[in-house]
Amino acid sequence: MFGKIYNIPRLQAWYGENDAKYSYSNINLSPIPWTKELLEIKAKIEATCNTEFNSVLLNLYRNGTDSNGWHSDDEKELGENPIIASISLGQERIFQLKHKVENTKIDILLENGSLLLMSGTMQKNWKHQIPKTKKPLNSRINLTFRRIYT
């Protein structure tokens, strides 16, 4: 993603408008075209969030072993203070926030059908993660709608 290669402990797919692409080292990566179902969800999320998205990163957390380590979504393609709308489907998982300077940590339970909106200076000031757990968990699908600036 975004010019870096990761060996990630989950499955990902990237959908969106043809121009929501990014390039590095003469490699141009293009998203998979929108499906009807993703466009229906996108329209509802855009109306709720009063903003427009041109791409969605889908994550499949197959079980408790799948995870997403501490990070901020602060790549330059996302612009200043990105708005990212995160939909959770299936297994609920703990979403953790950690302030980059202060010693503040917040746990949020991401329930089936929930919408988490990340905006403002959240990516500048906070990191987030989905930790692994030893509990036997079912799979969670996560849709994160984004705007990529090119």
Cβ closest to Mn ion, residue 84 vs residue 137 = 84
Q: Are 74 and 121 in contact (CB under 8 A)?
A: no
Is 8 or 18 the residue whose CB approaches Mn ion more closely?
8
Q: How far is the CB of 68 from Mn ion (least distance, A)?
A: 6
Task: Provide, rounded to whole angstroms, the least separation between the CB of residue 26 and Mn ion.
Answer: 27
Measured from the CB atom, the residue of 13 and 40 that comes closer to Mn ion is: 13
Least distance CB 51 / Mn ion (angstroms): 17
Residues that bind Mn ion (CB under 5 A): 73
Q: 50-80 burial by CB neighbour count: b if 16+ within 10 A, else e?
A: eeebbbbbbbebeebebebeeebbebebbee
List the structure tokens of 13.
Answer: 């797919």
